[in-house]
Structure 1
Amino acid sequence: MRVVRESGLPNRTDAMFTSVEGEWDEVMDVVKRAVAAVEARCGRVSLVLKADIRAGVTDGLTSKVETVERHLAQG
């Protein structure tokens, strides 16, 4: 978590996952450094990676949730 939060990239942690938003190479660098940090403290690292690559989309961490909330409010 420290590596992700100190990366400067937009991120969000919930009960199951940590989401990170940015350019592919930036995000993968953070993932690699986070895995290395965990690996340095224990002998096993489990990683689930899902990518949503959409050109021109920014602020996806909040805009996706806002879109769902807007649709729910409309009934």
Structure 2
Amino acid sequence: MLVAFSVAPSGLEGPEGSVHDAVAAAVRIVRESGLPNRTTSMFTEIEGEWDEVFDVIRRATEAVGEFGPRVSLVLKADIRPGRTGEIDAKVDRLEAALDRQDNP
């Protein structure tokens, strides 16, 4: 499965950089998981089996919870049993389609 998620604290009181520190704590957990992942300006994507992906997301959410009294979590999942490497393959297929359109 491939999951895009965004997790952030809310209700913070303190220095302006606290949100960045909280998100950094979550991203560190994702990166240390060893699962394929990528982080963009809006979401972190992670790929793996259901239990391992959601364990990482749970731990990342708990890490963010250390920074404030409330946590916002947004998830979007692409569940395709038996498929791996989709974190890159989906983008590769999109780029190939764009290339075919540009060079018929």
User: Which one of the candidate residues 22, 45, 50 is aligned to 1:24?
Assistant: 50
Q: Where has structure 1 moved over 3 Å in runs of 4 or more?
A: none
Match of 1:66 in 2: 92
- Equivalenced residue count is 75
Identity %: 59
What are structure 2's unaligned runs of at least 5 residues? 1-26
| More RCO (CA 8 Å, sep 6+) | 2
1:51 CA displacement:
1.2
Which protein has the bigger strand share? 2
1:3 CA displacement:
0.6
Match of 1:2 in 2: 28
1:13 CA displacement:
0.7
Deviations 1:5-54 (A, max 9, x none): 10111101112100110000000100110011000122221111111110
Match of 1:41 in 2: 67
Task: Give 2:39's aligned amino acid.
Answer: T
TM-score, reference length from structure 1: 0.95
Larger Rg: 2
TM-score, reference length from structure 2: 0.69
Task: Give 1:14's aligned amino acid.
Answer: T
Task: Give 1:69's aligned amino acid.
Answer: E
CA distance in 1, matches of 2:64, 2:43: 15
Match of 2:79 in 1: 53
